[in-house]
Amino acid sequence: MRVLTGIQPSGLPHLGNYFGMMRKILKMSQKEDVFLFIADLHALTTVHNKEKLQNGIFSIALDFLSLGLDPEKVTFYRQSEIQGHTELAWILATLTPLGLLKRAHSFKDKISKGIEPSCGLFYYPILMAADILLYDAEIVPVGKDQKQHVEITRDLALKFNDTFGKTFILPKSRIDQNTKTIPGIDGQKMSKSYGNTIDLFADEKILQKKVMSIITDSRGVNEPKDPQSALIGIAKFFLSAEEINAYLQGGIGNRDIKQKLALKINNFFAPFKEKRRKLQKNPKKIEEILQYGQEKAQKIASKKLAEVKNAFM
């Protein structure tokens, strides 16, 4: 079964990325045919600085390899290096009803948060559909906020198939119910766009500062705490049920539980940090791995695009 997902290089990978997608996709790669791309074209909706974008691409590759990605088991590549993504996106755009894009929740949510409502941001679901359909992906692991985009992908695939003959597989979204949305330090969904993240490989002092800034209410040390708080939403991935229950029942202050959480996060990622430091000294190796993945992806993308063109031209 082919599984496909992407991650934007618009900032340093964070806990939301790791528990929402990165850990999951690495585990799936042991059994499934996994395609993983660095979504640098999607990142252009928010990143307009070349150096920042290039650093982000390198960082994403470095982080995945540090966490255990095997290039022989995962087709790992940069989105922009495969021209078929944008070509197929334009073909799909000619079949896309305007109303379908206007109903996209993600677009409305992002502009409500202050992100510039560019044409690229509006067009995002079509490019995402091309990302998926170009490789005959069957399963697309996504967060709750991206589920609608997979539904749009299915709508476009169905319309193309009905118009020009069966060409595309209809992909299905897969949402881990335990990690649908991971809160950021401000209580919203953890997102680089919102600036509320806890980075995977942050320096210990920076990590502690971030954790200590997680929003909490004003309840006293001995008062029962809110089980739906951002702090608990993050802590459940690192602290035991006993530690969390002890805090929720009262008797442990916010500062104490945050200090414990910061230590657990740091210890969890310590082995990966060490591997990352070693890999970082060999950027040529990182580039060779991406080139290897791009060659594999290009063969499949070229074949699919030729099939698409043959259907209607």
Tell whether the model's pLDDT for residue 262 goes beyond 90: yes
Q: Is residue 10 part of a domain?
A: yes
Lowest mean pLDDT segment, chosen from 124-128, 248-252, 259-263: 248-252
Q: Tokens representing 93?
A: 């755009």
Tell whether the model's pLDDT for residue 179 goes beyond 70: no
Q: What is the pTM of this model?
A: 0.85
Residues 251 and 294 occupy one common structural domain: no
Q: Is residue 188 part of a domain?
A: no
Q: Residue 178's pLDDT band (boundaries 50, 70, 90)?
A: low
Residues 150 and 231 occupy one common structural domain: no
Residues 22 and 45 occupy one common structural domain: yes
> How many domains is the chain built from?
2
Residues 105 and 143 occupy one common structural domain: yes
Residues 208 and 103 occupy one common structural domain: no
> Could you read off the pLDDT of 29-85 as tens digits, one per residue?
999 999 999 999 999 988 899 999 999 999 999 999 999 999 999 999 999 999 999
CATH of the domain at 213: 1.10.240.10
Q: What's the farthest any 2 CA atoms get from each other in the chain?
A: 71
CA distances from 247 to 218, 239, 252, 260 (A): 14, 11, 5, 11
Q: Shortest CA distance to 33 belongs to which of 61, 11, 4? A: 4
What are the φ and ψ backbone dihedral angles of 63, each rounded to 5 degrees? Answer: -70, -45
User: Sign of the CA dihedral 33, 39, 42, 46?
Assistant: positive
Residues 38 and 132 occupy one common structural domain: yes
**Residues labelled as active-site residues:** 110, 189, 192
Alpha-carbon radius of gyration of the chain: 21
Q: Is residue 191 part of a domain?
A: no
> Could you read off the pLDDT of 200-241 as tens digits, one per residue?
999 999 999 999 999 998 888 888 999 999 999 999 999 999
Measured CA to CA, the distance from residue 104 to residue 76 in angstroms comes to 28
